[in-house]
Amino acid sequence: MFRFEQQLEEWLQINLDKENNPRRQELLAKGLGYGTVEFLRAVWFPAVGNFNYLFPEWEVRDFNNGYRYLDLAYMPGGAKGGFEIQGYGPHARDLDVRRFKDLCRRHSLLSLDGWTFLSIAYPSITDEPQLCQQLVLAFIGKFMASDVPSSLTWLEAETLRFARRLLRPFTPVELTHHLRVTNRHARRVLHELVEQQLLEIVGGKERNRTYQLRM
């Protein structure tokens, strides 16, 4: 937990130091909302292990020349991804018609501008953190290039595509069925992709290991 707290503080300070926009500077100086911090603590950091390409309180313009702020923007290589932490009180129980319409309009306008969102309910963060972690990994996978290194064999390339489509780590047996090859051949493919740092071993002993994309 100390590692998370330290990296969180460093990440926030880096964002604050690099920001020249006084509006976003003021928001960052106030600190992140409780729900956002809990999402980072219980979901993002355990799943990803770093804050690369993640930007808190990201400012965007709406179609009325106003400013809106995303809880977290995820922008690898110029992509437009965002996370919205939906607190049960303000976003559901206490939502009046005007605010409900504005929320829908906000998401619509941002979608038209090329943003893709993953909305996370705060109760899910506390009750189902592992499911949220799987969703986050799948969301990140959508922003990874659809192509693969040309140096890979067909089986290696298809293994990477298979890993990107899953919401969880997978076993060699699952890959065996997907590729329609022997278990020994599937394990050789996995070993090669781990050596190339494209996949990583998540856990388990040698015969029961699981694998996922390296983040």
pLDDT, tens only, 61-80: 876 677 888 999 999 877 89
What is the token pair recorded at 188?
A: 């050789």
- Radius of gyration for the alpha carbons in the chain, expressed in angstroms and rounded: 20
pLDDT, tens only, 29-44: 999 999 999 999 999 9
pTM above threshold 0.85: no
